[in-house]
Structure 1
Amino acid sequence: MNLRLVNIVFLLLFFGCSSVSPQSDSKVNDGLIVRTGTSFGMCVGYCRNDYEIKQTAVTLTRNDIRKSLTQTCQTTISETDWAAIKAATNFSEFSKQPERLGCPDCADGGAEYIELQLNDQSHRVTFEYNATIPGFESLVDLLRKQRNAYKECK
């Protein structure tokens, strides 16, 4: 009887210590970096704007290709905005999107892109300016809101 009790205690300790708790979504997306931007081929001035969002840090890089000028500056977004962006991402579904949608920057219509990087994997989708990515409309809208709030370096 004592041996049976010892075995039961041993098994409870062994299995109790080896259980793995599932990771929360926030832990899974901790390695998430979101890049987004716009470009216009027939344009004068800073015609290419690239944003990189890592948690609440935002880096804007503006390029004037004709004059070979580059501006880079940084700002922050709220935890709430970052949480909304993370919630709108689904890396595995986003990776199934084609790399190009429509005819970006045809007839100087402009182009937008969104790139998601999760740890060492990334996927970029370029699409027509003011269009959207099917199934990712909320992500497109959230990122446009961020770009519109932070259009230039000060």
Structure 2
Amino acid sequence: MKKIFTILSLVLVCLLFTACKKNSLKNLTNIGYGTSFGKCIGYCKTNLEVTSAQLSFSKSSNDGRLPKKDCQKTFTASEFEALKALFNDAKITSLPAVIGCPDCADGGAEWISVVIDGKEYKVTFEYGNAPDELKAAVLKLRTLKDGFKDCE
């Protein structure tokens, strides 16, 4: 009887820990996306930060000769929830920090990050070559970034 109770207790503890991991997208508070090009003249770096209330976009040059541009737009909680749905936290948290050779041979780099329970998970990859696990999210984030083309 004691043995069965011990086994059932272990199973219950394992299930509780597994359930917490599955629900961790609820604790995703911030999504980031950006691009950079090392051999570039002009605005070579972009950064998009997404929260449940706002989109924050910035662009800057590599050499600091151009002024940094910052723009914001409102973003609704429902839009943020739809964006969160494109992520599978188990996949992004298990991906390596760097995939391929970002910005090698002047091809540029892209990155995507999420903050879950206060911890940032960031993946950098070759521009235009998102890992399969992130393709849908990257496409949506590119569209959001393109909405700032008029950021002056």
State whether TM-score is above 0.5.
Answer: yes
SS of 1:123's equivalent?
strand
Deviation digits for residues 26-50 of structure 1 (CA, Å, limit 9, x no counterpart): 9952542001011111111110001
d(CA) in 2 for partners of 1:69 and 1:121?
A: 31
Helix, strand or coil at the partner of 1:103 = coil
Conserved? CA contact 1:94–1:123, under 8 Å: yes
Task: Give the corresponding residue for 1:151.
Answer: 149
Q: How far did residue 112 of structure 1 move?
A: 0.5
Aligned-residue sequence identity (percent) comes to: 30
Aligned to 2:48: 51
Judging changes above 3 Å, is the alpha-carbon distance between structure 1 residues 97 and 85 closer, same or farther for their aligned structure 2 residues? same
Q: What is aligned with 2:39? A: 42
Q: Which of 121, 125, 135 pairs up with 1:127?
A: 125
**4+ residue runs of structure 1 moved beyond 6 angstroms?**
none
Aligned-partner residue type, residue 58 of structure 2: T
Q: Is the CA contact 1:41–1:47 (under 8 Å) kept in the aligned structure 2?
A: yes
2:100 alignment partner AA: G
Give the aligned length. 132
Which range moved further: 118-127 or 63-72? 63-72
Which structure has the larger Rg?
1
What pairs up with 1:2-151 in 2 under 5 angstroms?
A: 29=26, 31-66=28-63, 67=65, 69-151=67-149
- TM-score norm. by structure 2 comes to 0.76
TM-score by length of 1: 0.75
Contact 2:24 2:89 in 1 (8 A): no
For the aligned residue pairs, the C-alpha RMSD in angstroms reads: 2.4
The question of whether the paired residues in 2 share the 8 Å contact of 1:133 and 1:140 is answered with no
Deviation readout 1:14-64 (Å, 9 max, x if unpaired): xxxxxxxx99x9995254200101111111111000111011401112111
Point out where structure 2 has 5 or more consecutive residues left out of the alignment. 1-18
Stretches of structure 1 lacking an aligned partner (at least 5 in a row): 1-21
Change (3 A) 1:139 1:109: same
In 1, distance between residues paired with 2:143 and 2:76? Answer: 13
